[in-house]
Amino acid sequence: MLNDSVSRRRFVRGVLGAAASLRVAGLAAGAEGRSAPPRRTFFDARFPRAAGLASRLASDGVLEPIGGDPTELVLWVASQALQDPRIAGVTTGSVPFVLQQLRLPGRLTVERIDRDLFVWALV
Amino acid sequence: MADPILPPGLNVADFEDALQAFRRIVGRDHVYTGDELSSYVDPYSIAEDPNAHATPAAVAPQSAEEVQAILRAANQHHVPLWPISCGKNHGYGGAAPRMAGTVVLDLNRMNRVLEVNVESGYALVEPGVSYFDLYRHLQEKGLKLWLDVPDAGWGSVVGNALERGVGYTPYGDHFMMQCGMEVVLPSGDIVRTGMGAMPGNNTWQLFKYGYGPYLDGMFSQSNFGVVTKMGVWLMPEPPGYRPYMITFEREEDIEQVVEVLRPLKVNSVIQNAATIRSLVLVACINATKSQYHTGPGPLPDSAAKKLMADQDIGMWNFYGALYGPPPIMDTLWTIIRDSFSTIPGARFFTPEERKRDNDVLKHRALTMRGVPRLTEYSLVNWVGGGGHIGFSPVSPIKGAEALKQYRMVRDRLHEHGFDYMSVFAIGWRELHHVIELVFDRTNPDEARRAREVFAIMVREAAEAGYGEYRTHISFMDQIAKTFSWNNGAQLKLHELLKDALDPNGVLAPGKQGIWPSRYRSR
């Protein structure tokens, strides 16, 4: 069980591999010491790799499958108003794209990890 | 952060004076600079110059009075302004201005639903009201009215109508369904159009034309004024609704599909703004290209066939809906089904007959009843780091024209390594052939090829007599020049109007290729 930010960062780094930046992995895992891990982590259920990565990013948080349609996520985010924004995901690009457009409070960091998938974190 | 691109002719001190004037009008918190400008870029830019559409600042008023004051200050300080409503004009430039150095006039904060009249079926809204906003307003109040929505539900009701966007219910022609405007002119003066020009009149949102020349069209796709209020007609909730999909197997079927469609549409048997969608545009909602083809170039035929089989869709997919009392829907459906059954291989579906949770017909069943969504953003997933720009030539509703356009565009896209993704949207008498040029925006070579093929398609379409109904900010000049009848008489008239209404050229220079005299020689 990973229960501190340093080991979590190391773990995420290993999970994501060289293709993903440490910056994103660290943010997603709350590794900078300024934020807790994501309370909700989304993954694109069409891609087995996404599920694997997301389950590790999620730590103790909630893990939720989504597809390429960002509508429900955006509506959910909007319903959260200014409450705790800590979410992360391993999804296709449409999801972080619409989140970028929403001018949400917090900082969204995005990195592409293969042809289809992006890892992202809002902290 | 790099130095901002300032308005032409202004130095840093001049510009700071202008920003101070704007701050006095809207408050310090609503004038944005530096890192606060990330929302005002074109996320899908294909411009060669990364600063081609850069803005140095944005100002966000909350009322028509503040818009008036900003226009007056802009004239005084010679600062050009680019109005946006919700800033979601993706595929056409987003919130970015046509000319570098133009300050964005962000109307997002003007987001009030001022009136909804259920009896007469209309709403009066400000430009910052999105489709999601108006839909939520109707739902929360339990009002039995339907919106007509485009594919991007977070766009502005006003902005989409002004850009002549389309939706999918019988009210799908958005500019046709607007009624009555309030407009701030470049001078800062304010007018109301149609019946709104008469004090105490109660038909501003009911009768479009008023008395004298009809002005509303002047403020669509234009830089002649800032629309601060607009009426929009809403559809009474019908007693019945039945969405459907018809699939067609072969590329060349598009010709017969359109021939069958024309009399059905012209005679109102097809009631709504129905669409014919190409294979990849439908498939990308549930699949990515790499799942079917990892090599270079467009999707091979063998992969296309597999995609059709996997998703149980056609090379062409027609989405329509029936509205009204059941006996009327029954009658219309019999005619529609019999008509399209003449095309070999045509298959008919209702949403209940589709197996996938995220089936496209289930999604379109929502948009054809006015439920705003963002589902279509899935198209950017087709190539991973996707961006898209829209190429949208118009043709008659004729099979030969549709087939000709299809082949012309498909061949050019394939030559440049792109897939053909399009929708033929059926208007009252015309087809909008909206081609989504989807490219990997993280790949500079793909962006370059997208830029090249877009310019070629515009030129070749014009040579074949096809004009575009709308375009990306990077191509506004090129498109404007294709409307060249009588030595460009229309553009000259636009420029005459522009110079009369906006002698200092402060409002949206270059919008739709219309430049004020101040910048015309640049």
Tens of pLDDT, residue by residue over B467-485, are 999 999 999 999 999 999 9
Which pLDDT value is given to residue A39?
A: 81
Say whether A69 and B374 touch across the interface (CB within 8 A): yes
The pTM assigned to this predicted structure is: 0.93
CA distance B424 to B394: 9
The pLDDT confidence band at residue A26, using thresholds 50, 70 and 90, is low
Q: Do A69 and B373 touch (CB under 8 A)?
A: yes
Interface test with B, best of A79, A97, A102 (most B CBs within 10 A): A97
Q: Distance (Å, rounded) from C-alpha B305 to C-alpha B454?
A: 27
Taking the CA of residue A68 and the nearest CA in chain B, the distance in Å comes to 5
Task: Identify the residue with better confidence: B214 or A81.
Answer: B214
The C-alpha atoms of residue B447 and residue B459 are separated, in whole angstroms, by 19
Note the pLDDT of residue B17.
Answer: 98
Instruction: Give percent above pLDDT 70 in chain A.
Output: 67
Is the pLDDT reported for residue A11 higher than 80? no
Q: How long, in residues, is chain A? A: 123
Whole-angstrom Cα distance, residue B150 to residue B398?
A: 24
pLDDT higher than 80, residue A10: no
pLDDT in tens, B28-54: 999 999 999 999 999 998 888 999 999
Q: Are the beta carbons of B270 and B168 closer than 8 angstroms?
A: no
Res B188: pLDDT: 98
Position B144 scores a pLDDT of 97
> How does the average pLDDT of chain B come out, rounded?
96
* pLDDT above 60: residue B456: yes
Side-chain-side CA neighbours of B168 within 13 Å: the count stands at 30
Give the one of B153, B288, B363 whose C-beta lies nearest to A116's C-beta: B288
- Nearest CB to B381: which of A100, A103, A116? A116
pLDDT of the residue at B522: 73
For B65, residues 6+ apart whose C-beta sits below 8 A from its C-beta are: none
* Residue B516: how many other CB atoms lie within 10 Å: 22
Burial of residue B417 (CB within 10 Å: 0-12, 13-18, 19+) is middle
Closest-CA residue in chain A for B42? A101
Closest CA–CA distance from residue A114 to any residue of chain B (Å): 8
- What is the average pLDDT across B108-114? 98
* Cβ-Cβ contacts under 8 Å for B202 (sequence gap 6 or more): none
CA distance A121 to A52: 16
Contact residues on chain B for A71, CB-CB shorter than 8 A: 153, 373-375
CA distance B179 to chain A (A): 30
- pLDDT band at residue A5 using 50, 70 and 90 as cut-offs: very low
B386: DSSP letter = E
Confirm if B511 and B497 have CB atoms less than 8 A apart. Answer: no
Count CB atoms within 10 A of the CB of residue A36.
14
Which of B154, B287, B381 lies at the smallest CB-CB distance from A93? B381
How much is the average pLDDT of B169-176?
Answer: 97
pLDDT at position A82 over 50:
yes
Specify burial of residue B2 (Cβ count, 10 A radius: 0-12, 13-18, 19+).
exposed
Closest residue on chain B to A78 (Cα): B132
SS3 string of B459-514? HHHHHCCCCECCCCHHHHHHHHHHCCHHHHHHHHHHHHHHHHHCCCCCECCCHHHC
By the 10 Å C-beta count (0-12 exposed, 13-18 middle, 19+ buried), B63 is classed as middle
Tell me how far apart the alpha carbons of residues B13 and B258 are, in angstroms, rounded to a whole number.
59
What is the Cα–Cα distance from B47 to B54, expressed in whole angstroms?
11
Query: Which of these ranges, B176-180, B197-201, B221-225, B381-385, has the smallest mean pLDDT?
Result: B381-385
Q: What is the pLDDT of residues B399-439, one digit of tens each?
A: 999 999 999 999 999 999 999 999 999 999 999 999 999 99
Report the pLDDT value the prediction gives residue A25, as an integer from 0 to 100: 56
Bridge-partner residues for A42, per DSSP?
A64, A89
A48 touching B, CB under 8 A?
A: no
Q: Give B111 to chain A, closest Cα distance, Å.
A: 16
**pLDDT confidence of B1, banded at 50, 70, 90?**
low
The residue among B374, B375, B376, B441 with the most chain A CBs within 10 A of its CB, best to mutate, is B374
**What span, in angstroms and rounded, lies between the C-alpha atoms of B29 and B22?**
11
Which chain A residues are Cβ-neighbours of B381 within 8 angstroms? 68, 92-94, 116
**How many angstroms separate the CA atoms of A58 and A37, rounded?**
7
Q: Which of B105, B79, B77, B90 is nearest to B45 (CA)?
A: B90
Answer yes or no: do A116 and B363 touch at CB < 8 A.
no
CA–CA distance, B382 with B440 (Å, rounded to integer): 9
B85 with B108: CB under 8 angstroms?
yes
Cα–Cα distance, B259 to B263 (Å, whole number): 8
CA atoms of A71 and B378, how far apart (whole Å): 10
Nearest to B377 among A46, A70, A116 (CB): A70
> How far off is chain A from B377, nearest CA to CA, in Å?
6
- Distance between CA atoms of B360 and B35, rounded to whole angstroms? 38
Please check the confidence at residue A24 and state whether its pLDDT lies above 70.
no
| Arithmetic mean of pLDDT, B165-177 | 97
CB pairs under 8 A between A and B: 68
How many whole angstroms from its chain centre is CA B285? Answer: 19
| Contact between chains at B381 and A92 (C-beta distance less than 8 A) | yes
pLDDT given at position A31 = 44
Residue percentage of chain B with pLDDT more than 90? 95
Residues B517 and B50: their CA atoms lie apart, in Å, by 26
Q: Are B227 and B219 in contact (CB under 8 A)?
A: yes
* CA B342/CA B77 separation, integer angstroms: 65
Q: Quick one: closest CA in A to B384, which residue?
A: A116
CB of A103 within 8 Å of any CB in chain B?
A: yes
Q: Does B380 touch chain A (CB under 8 A)?
A: yes
d(CA B165, CA B184): 22
**Can you state the percent helix, strand and coil of chain B, rounding each to 5?**
40, 20, 45
- Angstrom CA distances, B144 to B120, B147, B150, B356, B458, stand at 11, 10, 20, 30, 43
Q: What is the mean pLDDT of residues B362-374?
A: 96
Say yes or no to pLDDT of A34 above 50: no
pLDDT of residue A29: 55
Percent helix, strand, coil in chain A (nearest 5)?
A: 40, 20, 40
Asked whether the predicted pLDDT for residue B457 surpasses 60, the reply is yes
Angle between helices B326-340 and B253-266 (to 10 degrees): 150
Centre a 10 Å sphere on the Cβ of residue B324 and count the other Cβ atoms it contains.
17
- Confidence grade of residue B196 (pLDDT, cut at 50, 70, 90): very high
Residue of B nearest to A47 (CA): B291
- Please tell me the distance in Å from B282's CA to the nearest CA on chain A: 13
Are the CB atoms for B161 and B248 separated by under 8 Å?
no
Contact indicator for B211, B189 with CB cutoff of 8 Å: no
For residues B388 and B112, give the distance between their C-alpha atoms in angstroms, rounded to a whole number: 31
Q: Side-chain half-sphere of B401: how many Cα atoms within 13 Å? A: 18
**Closest residue by Cα to residue A116 from B286, B302, B307, B315:** B286
Distance, C-alpha B166 to centroid of its chain: 7
Lowest-confidence segment of A101-110, B87-96, B313-322, B384-393 by average pLDDT? A101-110
**Among all residues of B, which ones are annotated catalytic?**
92, 469-470
Instruction: Say if A98 is an interface residue toward chain B (CB within 8 Å).
Output: yes
Please report residues of B whose CB lies closer than 8 A to that of A103: 39
Q: Give A-chain residues touching B378 at CB under 8 angstroms.
A: 67-70, 92, 94
SS (H, E, C) B320-364: EEEECCHHHHHHHHHHHHHHHCCCCCCEEECHHHCCCCCCHHHHH
**Residue pLDDT, tens place only, B216-251:** 999 999 999 999 999 999 999 999 999 999 999 999
Spell out which residues of chain B touch residue A98, defining contact as CB-CB under 8 Å: 374, 377
Q: Tell me if chain A has a CB within 8 Å of the CB of B154.
A: yes
- pLDDT confidence of residue A9: 44
Cα separation of B313 and B305, whole Å? 10
